[in-house]
Chain A
Amino acid sequence: MLLSEQDQVLSYNGEVLVFQLSKPKHAEEAEDKAMNLYVKRMAFNRDTKLFDQKSSGVFSMGASHSKIEIICCSCTTDSRTGIILPCILMKKRKRNSVKYFLLLLHSSNQFEPSFFFKLDYELKEDIRLFAGPSLLWRHANKLFYISSNTRVVQSAPVHLSSVVWTGEIVGEGTVVLGIRTAFLPETEGSDGFSVSDRAIWGSEFFGYTIQSQKFLTGTCFMPHAYSRVVSSVYVCRSERLRKQLRISLVAITHKNQLIWFQNGTPKGVCELPYEKPRLVKPALTSSSDLLFAVSFASGNSCVIQRRDSLQVASKWQKVKCVLVDDFIGSGSEQLLLLFKDDSNADILSTFKITDLGEVNYSSDINYKYDVPAAEGLQENGLFTVRALETRLQAGWTSVRELQQHLRLQKRVILESCRALRDLVEGRTHILPNSKEVKCKRWARSLLNSAKPFVEGAAINHLPLLLEGLVSLWDDVENPPDSLSKETSSASEVPEHFTEELWQRVVGDSLVVGVKLTESFCLSLSDVSLSLVMDQDFSSVSPIIKCQSKIIKLNKAFSALAVSSSQIEPPPKKMKLDLDRKNDLQKEFLKSSSRIQLDGAKTVTAVTSLSPLLAFHRVCCVVLLHARKQNNQNDSLQQSKKITVLCGKILLSLEDISNGRYSIKMLRDNSYCIGSMEDILAVLAVSVRFSFQIVSCDCTLTPVSSWLMGEMECTPFKECQDNIFCHKAGNVHGTIFNWTLKNPFEGVLTIFCRNLTVLFQCLHSLTRVLPPSCSVKLLRSGSRGVLTEHLALALEKEMLTLKNSLFLKETKAENSLTWRNESGKKINNAPLASLLDTEEGVQQFRKKLQNEREESVRSMNQTMNGALYQKIALKIAEAQLSSDMIVWRLAKS
């Protein structure tokens, strides 16, 4: 407590002690008069709301006053009795040395000289009184101390730059917390966050125990980083838990912060309202709040409250000093603020006692808020409640501790039971990892989804790719021995059905492709390729196991190239709901027909290359199998199985070594250049997955920027919908197709070599997608398309049923198709609008009734067996197809 004036104040047991050196009346008297040290004990009177003097004492020193000064005073433990007493450090200047002496003040107002020592320099820095009474100070970056027991000045073997705290630590006695420049072991200096604080900030804390003269690590107080900024510390609590020091403290820094540390880590920060904080003191007030009073060099003070977080609760200016004690005798602590007052000499003339709660006394009469007369009684009640509250809290804490203990006990018992059981049964029980199981299941379902659908995907308007992993050759109904017969039948088929035959080598696979002409495609279904070895190797089956796929690429360029802004579109009438339905249907028809008409299809066969290479040179016949239909509406039964000889391919190791059939994908500016065959070959060997990406909140531009940016994709010049990934590494060669339905929904199709690549892509994608996005695997076309298909299939099924029932023996095939058409017309258009109104429903009901009656009438007719068989087959077929779609829908 360094005050500029000679008066010193100290709080002790709820009283304020004022120490004063006797002042000379006149200047000339100063030389020869003996100096006296006076002490006044002041206590707060709650009635007058003023400080009254209780008693006083005096200590006479025989020297002229100019040479005697009070250095500081504090309350410390007297080691002889263990009683805390006020003590005062005095300085007496001699000619070439300075004598310091310490006085203890007893309750009888008697001063007792404790010890003295002489120095040839003046104490200036970090002077602290502590238990003993003892004294320490810093001089020339060294630490010195003396105690009443030893009465000899000792020094600690340390170079330090400052002392931030001195006090008792459990089990260590008096500890000095200091700061010194860090000296670093050679090993430090690695990268990242492992760089130690000392290496960064260049100084460190150290603890030094006076009694045992050893060092404590500074990190149990605070991280070393703070050694650069901390100016004062108050240790609130220290305890030993399993031999480890646990310390809670509060520190103030040059950066104008107050920081609360627990076990060496910062737990809370608060910015201080003024510059240059000097000292921090805690106060435990009645509302069991912990307050920290911080005083600043400028004479300002503030109080920080610790509730949920640290907050500045109040601040004052022109404060001489802040004392903490129970001045009003309420059982908890208050702050006593002594203000600077120029006019009045008495130190206790302007003051304020507060706990930032109910207690608030001020010397300024204007401020005073008198407590009502019945205060005593009320206050007593308040104290009782408070005491009860404290007891309740203590009780609660102990109950909680007990509960915790019980829980621990239970767990230990459980654990030991388990161990015992395992021991008896002689096994180690491992719980299955549920996460792993899930993962596996998902991967399997992904694999399943890659399985083929030939028909359904044909109307999938998204990426126009038809997959057909058609079964092996020998699985087909036709036995292989019919080969000769089939090749003969191949001659029937006109030449121009196939446009081109090509082969490519992709990795370990051989891809053989046959491009079909458009007109031919239309009349075919169930198309597949097979490869048959031309040479005769007696030991090997001539049929090569391969997978067939039908791939169709959209050559169309994106329509976005034409800027729509330049031309004003023709005016369009607003469509009413009724029209829209027809419109939709038209559109749907259009889109489905586009698929049928647009571009040529290519059938590919993929087979493993290495087995073939064993023959060194091998020649294969490429056969195309399909069902040819005469009429669009013909069912399976009417279609004819055909086999077309497409040509021969020659495969030699030499060619492959020369890279004749290898694919070339070149990056040219913003495009990827590769021949159509190359692209088809890559698509044929890839596994295809479609994902529907829906964002509920924001646009999906991150996907395309991910494709173009992170994945380094470029679109194919030939078919710009598909883009090729140039990113080095595993994902290189993956082909994507990103189709936006609207700014918030799109389908991403990934053609990848294997599942690992897929997972890599997805992992990378999920990081760039907005968090509100949902990504769904489309197993077999999008749900919307499938639903439409289902509707159509069900309709067809119903019509088939209906038509066959009306069918008379005499009726020919063409009538069936006619009915089909007309029935469609009736059923589609007005249904929805009919159901809107009551009459509509009535009308509809009537119509249904009629139809039912008609069908009942027709039921009674007889039918010949062959016709019945035909009908039954047809119905079964229709049902089969709708069942297929239902199955797919259920899976998606």
Chain B
Amino acid sequence: MKRRRGPGPEPEPEAEPEPDRGPERGCLRTWAAHSRALVERWTTARCGGEARRQLRDEFRELLLSIRGLPAAVPALPLELTVLYNSLLFTVGASDSAVKGEAKGIRQGLLRVLEACGACGEDLGMEELWEKVLQEVTVEELQAPLHRLGALQAAWWLAASRLGSVAGLLQLLSTAEDLGRAHCSEGQNKLLAMIKAWQVPPEEVSLPLVQSAKDLKEILCTAAAFLQGLQELEAGNFPAALSLLQEAAGGFCSKNILAQIYTCLGCCAQRMGKPQTALQHLKRALQVDFQCLPALSHVAAVYHKLGETDAELQALTLLYEALGKNPPAAASSSPYFLMRTEVLVHTPLLTSLLRHHHPSEVKYLLAQRCLQDGRVADAVEHYLDFLSLLQEGLQQQVPLDGSSALPRIPEVFLEAASALEQAGRHQDAITVCEEVISRTTDLIPRVLRVEERLEQTESSLPEPELVGGFLSQKKESMCCLAWRTAGYLQQGWAWAKLGESKEAVTQFSRCLNDLLRVQLHGSGVKQTENLQPEVEVLQKIRLLSLIGRGTQFLELGRNKEALLDFQHSLQISPGDPAAASYLVQVLWKMNRKEEAAAQWLKFSQSSPGEDGQQPGQGRPLPLYLVSCLEQAVFPHSESLARSIQDFLGAAAQDTPS
């Protein structure tokens, strides 16, 4: 550097080195040049990956050398700037969320105090900032300290420590700034404070890898987004909506903007504004089509609206999109080090942005088709889903709790139900066989429900054990329900095929298995925990009794049929199908008076009970719906007519 001479004459011999000779290359200048060179390398290349990590290491090393000397005020602006850049690279190169305390910031502040002859080793981060900003009045240090403050705010924001952020901003802002922040009332206070914070002007001699202005904008967006999510979680939807809208107007990447719109959509939906929700979700997809959670939310909104066509379209699209592009991990932006992505991480956001698994979407499609009565489509989707399962359970089905999938046997039963409805009885039987064979070993010989439970509750003091016992019992009951439902469906399928004997066998198997449950007490005051399972089992029993009864009728074994129908009426007094069948059997057996009496009793009590049942009854499992439909008595009108005729005739016979 000192000698730049051309190939001219031989340079005259230099004077012998003296102790104090001219300007020298001081450390400060060397570091400043190094820092500038590093920033330049970054701004020209904006590299990612390995090169970025290398730059991070070089910044770290530079900081290390600066920290290798005692802190001195003239060197501190440079040191703090290098710290700022180095921290940004730490964020930018790691490609993950900002986590934990920024030790670097703490060290930097301690160095500032060291240079000013103070110390604060034992202070917490908040107090340390307070001490530094109040006690250090050196003019040159203000701008670098403020920039560092912005970074600290980012760190705290990432940790959702909004109070700390507000406190820091209070320290960073002048009274005038705060006055401006207070002027705009009604706005969010933290946002107003961030906006009022005056960014220190960038100095040419201390270049930054990302300007403080950028940082401020990112802080604004992140703060609005984060608070919006918090309000959303707390249920303050209007506040959440305005905060999220604020965030959507801020500086952020495509990715984040789509996420914000998705959250806006969810918020609007929870407010009961489905059309607004749809608009927001559409915007999310327009901004970034990779934001597939938005699409699944769209499907959910259409589901709420009852627009099945649109919902199915959305689900189909979602399935296709999932198949084409497996949702890649958020790629790092090549241009920025600090981004909104690394600051906003809440459980709510993760759950809102949960990527659906293709198999889940497939199941949803199948289920919705079945519920809507699109049997052919439902069958296709169910078969697709089952083949997906065969490819490998672990890869195909998300095993976390938030999945939309029910238990696999239920899916099988639903598939069987769909096949049955589509007229593919043999296939339905095969699918049911699968369920039955798989559950054989899982069912205890005897399952006592009520009394045992009460006993255990009194004898075992530990609630965990009781809980464990309960859940085990519940699991057994589920298995039993699946197995018996399998038999039930097989029974109905055989009935449809005209194989009454086979059907009777299946129904009998179903009823036999159901005998394993021993319900004690009246059956009404069941333990709350097992209530739904018991209800399902009772329904299955009812349906299979009716089924077997009808098959006995077909076979002409009227007595047995009568017995079954009577049983079923015992289980569910006033069940219209069972009652109608009972009347029919009695009629057939020529016990016309009894039939008429039953009919009268039933037709009088039915309207009241009809009104009651849907109110108290929980929704039936989807796989039982088809059986329920099949159990409906088909000839109610003709039967009613003939009975009425009979009653009329009887009335005429008996003169009043």
Q: A196-B24, A574-B310 are in contact. Are A771 and B275 (CB under 8 A)?
A: no
Contact B205 A702 (CB under 8 A): no
Complex Cα spacing A218 to B249, Å? 58
> Chain A contacts of B205 at CB under 8 A?
192-193
Complex Cα spacing A9 to B508, Å? 98
B18: CB under 8 A from chain A? yes
Contact B336 A698 (CB under 8 A): yes
B48: CB under 8 A from chain A? no
A743: CB under 8 A from chain B? yes
A264: CB under 8 A from chain B? yes
> Chain A contacts of B41 at CB under 8 A?
none
B404: CB under 8 A from chain A? no
Q: How far is the CB of A771 from chain B (nearest CB, A)?
A: 4
Contact B335 A200 (CB under 8 A): no
Task: Select B68's contact among A218, A269, A412, A705, beta carbons within 8 Å.
Answer: A269
Q: How far is the CB of A188 from chain B (nearest CB, A)?
A: 9
Complex Cα spacing A569 to B273, Å? 9
Contact B64 A257 (CB under 8 A): yes
> Chain A contacts of B241 at CB under 8 A?
565
Q: How far is the CB of A260 from chain B (nearest CB, A)?
A: 10
Mark out the residues of chain B between 225 and 260 whose CB falls within 8 Å of any chain A CB in the assembled complex: 241-242, 245, 249-254, 257
Contact B250 A195 (CB under 8 A): no
- Interface flags for A185-220 (1: CB within 8 Å of B; 0: not) read 100000011111101110000100000001111111
Complex Cα spacing A16 to B18, Å? 42
Complex Cα spacing A259 to B43, Å? 29
Complex Cα spacing A218 to B64, Å? 23
Contact A206 B19 (CB under 8 A): yes
A744: CB under 8 A from chain B? yes
B32: CB under 8 A from chain A? yes
A14: CB under 8 A from chain B? no
Surface stretch bound by A, among B69-77, B379-387, B531-539, B590-598:
B69-77
Q: A194-B23, A568-B273, A568-B276 are in contact. Are A771 and B70 (CB under 8 A)?
A: no
Q: Total interface residues on A, using CB and 8 Å?
A: 61
Surface stretch bound by B, among A143-151, A224-232, A469-477:
A224-232
Q: A228-B69, A698-B254 are in contact. Are A214 and B275 (CB under 8 A)?
A: no
A571: CB under 8 A from chain B? yes
Task: Select A698's contact among B213, B251, B273, beta carbons within 8 Å.
Answer: B251
Complex Cα spacing A224 to B72, Å? 14
Contact A569 B276 (CB under 8 A): yes
Task: Select A217's contact among B3, B13, B18, beta carbons within 8 Å.
Answer: B18
Q: How far is the CB of B236 from chain A (nearest CB, A)?
A: 14
> Chain B contacts of A245 at CB under 8 A?
17
> Chain B contacts of A705 at CB under 8 A?
213, 217, 251
A255: CB under 8 A from chain B? yes
Across chains A and B, the number of contacting residue pairs, with CB separation under 8 Å, is: 157
Q: How far is the CB of A461 from chain B (nearest CB, A)?
A: 20
Contact A216 B26 (CB under 8 A): no
Contact B251 A701 (CB under 8 A): yes
B133: CB under 8 A from chain A? no
A11: CB under 8 A from chain B? no
Contact B69 A225 (CB under 8 A): yes
Contact B68 A196 (CB under 8 A): no
Contact B242 A569 (CB under 8 A): no
B476: CB under 8 A from chain A? no
B20: CB under 8 A from chain A? yes
A697: CB under 8 A from chain B? yes
Task: Select B275's contact among A192, A219, A569, beta carbons within 8 Å.
Answer: A569
Complex Cα spacing A678 to B335, Å? 42
> Chain B contacts of A768 at CB under 8 A?
211, 213
Contact B29 A194 (CB under 8 A): yes
> Chain A contacts of B252 at CB under 8 A?
698-699
A572: CB under 8 A from chain B? yes
> Chain B contacts of A265 at CB under 8 A?
25, 30
Contact B257 A743 (CB under 8 A): yes
A266: CB under 8 A from chain B? yes
Contact B217 A701 (CB under 8 A): yes
B96: CB under 8 A from chain A? no
Q: A193-B29, A259-B68, A570-B275 are in contact. Are A697 and B78 (CB under 8 A)?
A: no
Contact A200 B64 (CB under 8 A): no
Contact A697 B333 (CB under 8 A): yes
> Chain B contacts of A167 at CB under 8 A?
none
Contact B69 A229 (CB under 8 A): yes
- Interface flags for A223-255 (1: CB within 8 Å of B; 0: not) read 111101100000000000011110000000101
> Chain A contacts of B185 at CB under 8 A?
none
> Chain B contacts of A126 at CB under 8 A?
none
> Chain B contacts of A257 at CB under 8 A?
64-65, 68
Contact B74 A744 (CB under 8 A): no
> Chain B contacts of A214 at CB under 8 A?
16
A309: CB under 8 A from chain B? yes
Q: How far is the CB of B335 from chain A (nearest CB, A)?
A: 4
Complex Cα spacing A245 to B2, Å? 13
> Chain A contacts of B276 at CB under 8 A?
564-565, 568-569
- Chain A, residue nearest B21 (CB): A217
Mark out the residues of chain A between 665 and 723 whose CB falls within 8 Å of any chain B CB in the assembled complex: 697-699, 701-702, 705
> Chain B contacts of A699 at CB under 8 A?
250-253, 257
B122: CB under 8 A from chain A? no
A770: CB under 8 A from chain B? yes
Where the two chains meet, the residues of A that have a C-beta atom closer than 8 Å to any C-beta of B are 185, 192-197, 199-201, 206, 214-220, 223-226, 228-229, 242-245, 253, 255, 257, 259, 264-266, 268-269, 271, 309, 412, 564-565, 568-572, 574, 697-699, 701-702, 705, 742-744, 768, 770-772
Could you give 12 example pairs across A and B, Cβ below 8 Å?
A: A193-B26, A197-B24, A219-B25, A223-B25, A225-B69, A255-B67, A266-B27, A269-B64, A564-B276, A699-B252, A699-B253, A770-B335
**A195-B74, A702-B214 known; 15 other A-B pairs, CB under 8 Å?**
A193-B26, A195-B26, A197-B24, A215-B17, A217-B19, A218-B19, A253-B68, A264-B25, A565-B268, A568-B273, A697-B254, A699-B251, A702-B251, A705-B251, A772-B334
